[in-house]
Structure 1
Amino acid sequence: MPAHKKQRFTLWEFFQSLGKTFMLPVALLSFCGIMLGIGSSLSSRDVITLLPVLGNPVLQLIFVWMSKVGSFAFSFLPVMFAIAIPLGMARENKGVAAFSGFVGFTVLNLAVNFYLTANGTLPTTDPAVLKANNIQMILGIQSIDTGILGAVIVGIIVYRLHERFNTIRLPDALAFFGGTRFVPIVTTVVLGLVGLLIPLIWPFFAAGITGLGRLIQGAGVFGPMIFGSGERFLLPFGLQHILVALIRFTEAGGTLDVCGREVSGALTIFQAQLSCPTTHGFSESATQFLSQGKMPAFLGGLPGAALAMYHCAKPENRHKIKGLLISGVVACVVGGTTEPIEFLFLFVAPALYVIHAFLTGLGFTVMSVLGVTIGNTDGNIIDFVVFGILHGTATKWYLVPVVAAIWFAGYYAIFRFSITRFNIKTPGRESDSLPAAAAVPSSSKSGYNVPAILSALGGAGNIVSLDNCITRLRLSVADMTLVDDATLKANRAIGVVHLNEHNLQVVIGPQVQSVKDELDVLIRAAASPAAAEPLIV
């Protein structure tokens, strides 16, 4: 997309943009977790004893290869965040921003190593000294393990440096070092200085995270509920990734010794145990914040809500919404993406969403109380099979269908009663007809009428910035009055969230990346002086 005039981020928008950048490494984590889960499960002695055919040497080599490749993302998680944050937040020259993220993360750890060496802490191999100072090998460098939080700090600093200096002009004698080349240079200097401060300030950050972890852990069985409900409450605002990252990757999600190494964060602990050959079973204190807690709502509750909405629709409209509801259920159950269903009732019945958030949190607590130990990130049927069934009855996977069935019945009853009793305008019950949607162009890869969506957003000239997360377009517009919510919904937008007078989100669903890409093409075509007429995608 062509460069638009730069806009100043509000704090709200900054955290939304930051949370969005987490999705690139988290998506890789999810995939690598599945590979690691399948590989470690099918190469375990218990599974081979149960199914001797899997003991074939060729198959075992394949499974071990899957485990090794799958463990990659967890071994280099912090550096991936340090790269992904400036990559995702930079408005232009994103490749330079990503490269500078790697430079900044490496230089930070080299500077920390320099400080610890200068004050006599390093070099040492004494386990007591290393543990007391939280020193680990990071990219081959002995340094303080700042984990994901340190990577986030690096990413934010690099992003700010990139935005400030990527177009800088230097005197002619130094012009070679100007522009984008200056970004990694200034990053080296600034992060080198920040690295000298890390040993002095890090204990305060660590204490704060540990305090948050103790607060959540101290809530007992309600700790998982606080996390699960909090994630749902933050989701409409796009801020859930901040809370999730704290629990998954920092001391707030617990700390445990795995294979002789202290590991922090619920997901990090789970994956470390998954790849540790001497570990049998998974820590309940970690898995209580992971996939298993989502399964009652994702595999049972939301499908029940979808069925209730279908039965409550006007008979003549049911065939119109059947595809919408089925695709939403498939995205939820198979992909772990809930927004296509949640946004069908979020705006027309916020009270139902509040109930849904509490029931989701209750699902986390129930799974924890029952002693279920199924990890990973998505809470979908894939996680249930790979990290539950394939790891045997020790995970208590057989309790998930029982609880999910209860949640299905509960959601169906609550939603059907509420919709009919309070005449909630869920899909198929609208009294006013929506504007007619134009036919989708045959060349559209996304399956959406993207030119109509762009027109409903006020046209290319109204778009100040455009980005997307997993299911939503995130936009800034010059004039919000030009945005036509009804036409957007007529063209299959699930919901429209107006954040303030210039910023909004359009909920598309799983195909949002394709829609965003096609919008970019149309906006570039409109901005091109050579464009005689609009480009039809």
Structure 2
Amino acid sequence: MKSFSSIEWKSSAKNSWEMFKKGCGNIMPTLSKLSKAFLLPIALLPIAGVFLGVGSAIASNSVDGTFGYFLGSLLNKMGDVCFGNLPVLFCISVALAYTKDSGIAAITAVVGFLVMNGMQAALLHTQQLNIDTTNLWVQTSIDENGKAVWEHFTSVVVDANGKGKINWADSSINLQNIMAWGIGSSEDNLRMVNSNFELIDGAGSVYYSLLWINKIPNGLITSNIGVNSLNTGVFAGIFVGAIAAKCYNKFHQTQLPSAISFFSGTKLVPIVTFVAVIPLSFIFMFIWPYVGMGLAAFGQASGKLPGGLDSFIYEVAERSLVPFGLHHVFYAPLWWTNAGGSIAEAFNKATPEQQAEFVKIWSANHSVLAETLLNGVSEGLKFQTIRNMISSDYPDLWKSMGDQTMAYSVIAKINVLNFTDLEALGLNIGRFQSGKFGFMLLGLPMAGLAMWLNVPKENRKEVMGIYFSAAFTCFLTGITEPIEYTFLFLAPWLFYGVHMPLAAISFLFAGLFKTHVSMTVSGGFIDYIVFGVIPYFGSKAMSAKSAFAILGVSAAMAPAYFFGFYFAVKYGNVMVPGRDGSTNVQLATKAEYKASKGLNVDGSKIEEGKSTKASAKDAVEEARIQKATKIIEFLGGEANIVDVDACASRLRLTVKDGSLVDKDGIISLGGATGALIRGTNVQVVYGGEQEAIKPRMIKILDEQRKSKK
């Protein structure tokens, strides 16, 4: 038997490692584009969230029928409709991201999304049970112990098709006394049904059947742009968008035979996609009911971890992915699917103790509604009565799932259900969001102050602007990248060794205190006002502890971040901007500076008779073109560049050979706080300038490639 020598083992291990690195390098561009795709709908959410939060506050504090009520309802619905249609928005965004913003691909994605959901709707049906004189029971009353009293209903006839029908004329039971229906051989093995004899759950919502799968919970069925189908959250939209993009990239230039040439090119794309989504629809029908129930179980189980531990674990993973731009991929399921929890599941899985506590808290928080709804209802049926009211009258609220979606749904219907009500059921809404306020309001701004204080005194004035503007931006809007990327690429250990642990601790305490403050995308002061202060003072949506413990966590994070970064930068000898002796750290570009002095980019004087404003504009444009040209050179030239794209803060590039990229050369051009190379994927962090660089690079590359033809 042949054995490997140590050299052969090392060689084999080295080859395996190289193959692994190559595989990671190839998958990074795909994941990078996916992350970029997520940013498109995410960019819409801040304004939608503000409209929803402000609208809800106005409507809930206005009398029905008044101008304030209608204005608040209008604003609320404008924001709510965006969150209600996230799946199709993600579908379109993914198609755009993988096809260089093709409008044809976007339309095709919508077609594919409609087809996939239409197939499900055709095969989806409720479970209607057969009845006869031996299995129909009705609940007519509640005894003194709160136990349901069931009576055997014998007035049933069977029609020619073998279906049971009730013979009301022969009934000995007063129909007005019927409280619930059940089917079974005895009172002990009843299956609950509604008046149409459809199988229902404990909340009175019907179960569905799809293919061979029965008892699909009502929460897994929803209306996707008007089509009643599986509630797949954003997952199905992402897959359909990817298929639409693939079909577009492969077939949009296809020429068909002359007899059917009308369908060539872009007209062929939606036709191919129409067919391509058929197997995807069946795949979702086969597995999603099980996946959906599994995700719901995960969301419930993770919410039972003690002391904010679920929030802590979440932030360790989420913040670890920020440097790679993949954190959007990670938190999407937790924010917008039942992996992040479900209101329906919280009700259905509530223990008797939780039910009693919920009724007590809900009745106190909604006294007027409780007096109307629960008047004359026995104690044992109050929880079920409230649950039935929410599931039947407010289906969007009942079916909402995902940490952020639930938060926005509750804010939209705060007069029916609020955060403290759901807290009694063990649902800690905000556990994957609230922790960000702790380090975004004060933590990272104090880290910026600590880095600035490490700059020699003679240089502090020159670099004050970049530190303090970044700190104020972080505090006001929650945009952290200007500060994070200042130290991330200089000393990654600062990010993973100081920032990430402190951010996770911020989430730990936010989860521990059950701070239900939601956000749009980042946890800045604006979001805190909209989703914390206004819901608390406007409609008591949460407790004072929940609303203001955020400020306590922020106050604790401030010194932790300050001292952590101050000593880490000082004794770790991290050369933050200004500490290395350089003072040319400014937000203005070189071209803008020279133009203000009456000079062109090359230093020559602006021609007389030419307006200073026009010359300045020409100088800025010339500088941007020169910079884009240089970036192309440092990327290994036109032949080495496969794709140019951008997201909220980065220039995202795909190259043929990553070893040809001159990272230092790109950074030397100014404006970039760092660059990351992973295989064939290159990311350059700018923070805003990338939106000006991207179109100019694309234009220059097109010109260079045309000149070689």
| Partner residue, 2:114 | 106
Q: Give per-residue Cα distances to partners, 1:79-121, cap 9 Å, x unaligned.
A: 11111111121136x1111001100110001111223369999
Structure 1 position 275 matched with structure 2 position 412: yes
Decide which of 266, 281, 285 is 1:195's aligned counterpart: 281
| Partner residue, 2:495 | 353
Decide which of 493, 497, 505 is 1:362's aligned counterpart: 505
Q: Give per-residue Cα distances to partners, 1:424-476, cap 9 Å, x unaligned.
A: 11111226899998434732889985632541441672543111111111012
In 2: Cα distance, 1:110 partner to 1:204 partner: 20
Decide which of 587, 591, 595 is 1:439's aligned counterpart: 591
Of 432-441 and 325-334, the range deviating more from structure 2: 432-441
Q: Tell me the CA shift for residue 173 of structure 1.
A: 1.0
8 Å CA contact retained: 1:301, 1:410: yes
8 Å CA contact retained: 1:434, 1:490: no
| Partner residue, 2:217 | 132
Measured at CA, do residues 453 and 189 of structure 1 come closer, stay the same or move farther in structure 2, by a change above 3 Å?
A: closer
| Partner residue, 1:458 | 633
Structure 1 position 483 matched with structure 2 position 659: no
In 2: Cα distance, 1:504 partner to 1:272 partner: 39
In 2: Cα distance, 1:332 partner to 1:493 partner: 18
Structure 1 position 42 matched with structure 2 position 58: yes
AA at the equivalent of 2:563: A
Measured at CA, do residues 205 and 219 of structure 1 come closer, stay the same or move farther in structure 2, by a change above 3 Å?
A: same
Q: Tell me the CA shift for residue 421 of structure 1.
A: 1.3
Q: Tell me the CA shift for residue 341 of structure 1.
A: 0.6
> TM-score normalised to the size of structure 1?
0.86
Structure 1 position 406 matched with structure 2 position 556: yes
Decide which of 300, 304, 314 is 2:446's aligned counterpart: 304
In 2: Cα distance, 1:421 partner to 1:400 partner: 31
Decide which of 385, 410, 419 is 2:529's aligned counterpart: 385
Gapped regions of structure 2 (runs ≥ 5): 1-23, 130-195, 209-215, 345-389, 593-600, 602-615
> TM-score normalised to the size of structure 2?
0.67
Q: Percent identity?
A: 28
AA at the equivalent of 1:342: E
Q: Tell me the CA shift for residue 246 of structure 1.
A: 1.1
Of 441-450 and 280-289, the range deviating more from structure 2: 441-450
| Partner residue, 2:596 | none
| Partner residue, 1:52 | none
Decide which of 260, 265, 268 is 2:402's aligned counterpart: 265
| Partner residue, 1:64 | 73
In 2: Cα distance, 1:9 partner to 1:174 partner: 42
Measured at CA, do residues 119 and 287 of structure 1 come closer, stay the same or move farther in structure 2, by a change above 3 Å?
A: closer
In 1: Cα distance, 2:543 partner to 2:414 partner: 17
In 2: Cα distance, 1:111 partner to 1:317 partner: 66
CA RMSD of aligned residues (A): 3.3
- What SS class does the counterpart of residue 392 from structure 1 fall into? helix
AA at the equivalent of 1:348: L
In 2: Cα distance, 1:123 partner to 1:90 partner: 49
Equivalent residue runs for 1:78-477 within 5 Å = 78-91=87-100, 94-116=102-124, 127-130=205-208, 132=217, 134-210=220-296, 212-214=298-300, 216-220=302-306, 221-257=308-344, 259-260=394-395, 261-282=398-419, 283=422, 285-354=427-496, 355-377=498-520, 378-392=522-536, 394-396=542-544, 397-430=547-580, 438-440=590-592, 442-443=616-617, 449=624, 451-458=626-633, 461=638, 463-477=641-655
In 1: Cα distance, 2:128 partner to 2:249 partner: 38
8 Å CA contact retained: 1:335, 1:380: yes
AA at the equivalent of 2:206: A
In 2: Cα distance, 1:192 partner to 1:277 partner: 40
In 1: Cα distance, 2:317 partner to 2:508 partner: 13
8 Å CA contact retained: 2:463, 2:585: no
Q: Tell me the CA shift for residue 482 of structure 1.
A: 5.0
Measured at CA, do residues 210 and 371 of structure 1 come closer, stay the same or move farther in structure 2, by a change above 3 Å?
A: closer
Structure 1 position 14 matched with structure 2 position 33: no
In 2: Cα distance, 1:160 partner to 1:331 partner: 39
AA at the equivalent of 1:421: Y
Q: Tell me the CA shift for residue 205 of structure 1.
A: 2.8
In 2: Cα distance, 1:215 partner to 1:59 partner: 41
- What SS class does the counterpart of residue 642 from structure 2 fall into? strand
AA at the equivalent of 1:328: A
8 Å CA contact retained: 1:388, 1:395: no
In 2: Cα distance, 1:446 partner to 1:265 partner: 45
In 2: Cα distance, 1:104 partner to 1:202 partner: 18
Measured at CA, do residues 196 and 486 of structure 1 come closer, stay the same or move farther in structure 2, by a change above 3 Å?
A: closer
In 2: Cα distance, 1:328 partner to 1:489 partner: 21
Measured at CA, do residues 118 and 188 of structure 1 come closer, stay the same or move farther in structure 2, by a change above 3 Å?
A: farther
Decide which of 45, 58, 76 is 1:29's aligned counterpart: 45
In 1: Cα distance, 2:331 partner to 2:668 partner: 30
Q: Tell me the CA shift for residue 489 of structure 1.
A: 4.8
Q: Tell me the CA shift for residue 483 of structure 1.
A: 2.8
Measured at CA, do residues 59 and 214 of structure 1 come closer, stay the same or move farther in structure 2, by a change above 3 Å?
A: closer
In 1: Cα distance, 2:576 partner to 2:321 partner: 22
Which of the two has higher C-alpha Rg?
2
In 2: Cα distance, 1:276 partner to 1:435 partner: 48
Of 150-159 and 305-314, the range deviating more from structure 2: 150-159
8 Å CA contact retained: 1:42, 1:390: no
Q: How many residues align?
A: 514
Q: Tell me the CA shift for residue 217 of structure 1.
A: 2.8
